[in-house]
Amino acid sequence: MPGRGSKKIAQQPTLADFKVGVDNVIFSVDTAQNRLLVLLVMRQEEPFSGHWCLPGTLVRQGESLEDAAYRILAEKIRVKNLYLEQLYTFGGPGRDPRECDGSYGVRYLSVSYFALVRFEEAELIADGVSGIAWYPLEQVPQLAFDHNKILEYGHRRLRNKLEYSPVAFEVLPEVFTLSDLYQLYTTVLGDNFADYSNFRARLLKLGFLYDTKVKVSRGAGRPASLYRFDAEAFAPFKDKPLVFI
């Protein structure tokens, strides 16, 4: 950080001034239909007015990045449970058209966050004006800014996290069948992994899935047991390499 407040003003390269935005990639899963969903909102202002985009906001004075991420989330949906982590920071010049017009030289930088919510518990807040909707991942349209890129990055993160951490239980309902769990993995990762019975056996042996003994019947077939993720029983596995495949 050369020469801030110093006297040699000769050929100082000019620093860029930034506005910092936070954009959230919010995933959920519709267990009933086995669809991976992402939350999109319709932009009301220029640029890209009328285009869908990831829910985002600019960071306010005194607000931390994470606070900003929680704020947009709270503005858009009401949730009981929430998983949130920082994703990536996109900041090349020219990623936002506002950089050219109006305020000279201001750069727009986006710190993206990755969130998982439970579909059943997430209640979308429609303010009457702005559109907001869950989009199945394969049906996501062209988004504003570089949001398709951000979304893709988030999707990759989700796939990676599924394999080695218990994020699945953040998107599944409180109680779920082992089929639900297996379906979730196949819808997100494809079905190039262990078959259902092996998947089942492995997960149960680990011992952090609690069988509530409650049965649910969905159409034909034998009723399935509802299971609950037992965070306490999982604790020993925390930070240890663990493969869910």
Partner DNA sequence: GCAAAAGTGTTCCTGGTACACCCATGC
Partner DNA sequence: GCATGGGTGTACCAGGAACACTTTTGC
Interface with a copy of itself (CB under 8 A): 1-6, 13-21, 45-46, 56-66, 86, 88-89, 91-93, 98, 102, 105, 107, 109, 111, 163, 241, 243
Q: How far is the CB of 215 from DNA (least distance, A)?
A: 6
Q: Which is nearer to a copy of itself, 59 or 226 (CB)?
A: 59
Q: Which does residue 235 bind out of DNA, a copy of itself, none, counting CB within 5 to 8 angstroms by kind? A: none
Q: Which does residue 51 bind out of a copy of itself, DNA, none, counting CB within 5 to 8 angstroms by kind? A: none
Sign of CA dihedral 186, 189, 194, 199: negative
| DSSP label at residue 160 | H
Q: Which is nearer to a copy of itself, 164 or 230 (CB)?
A: 164
φ/ψ region of 3 (left if φ > 0, alpha if ψ in -120 to 50, else beta) reads: left
The residues of the shown chain that bind DNA, judged by CB under 7 A, are 177-179, 193-198, 200-202, 204, 215, 217-225, 243, 245
Q: How far is the CB of 119 from a copy of itself (least distance, A)?
A: 27
Token digits of residue 35: 């669809």
Q: How far is the CB of 86 from a copy of itself (least distance, A)?
A: 6
Q: Which is nearer to DNA, 2 or 219 (CB)?
A: 219
R_g of the chain computed on alpha carbons: 22
Token digits of residue 185: 């993995």
Q: How many CA atoms lie within 13 A of 74 on its CB side?
A: 6
Q: What is the rounded CA–CA span in Å between residue 215 and residue 27?
A: 28
Residue 214: φ, ψ to 5°: -75, 135
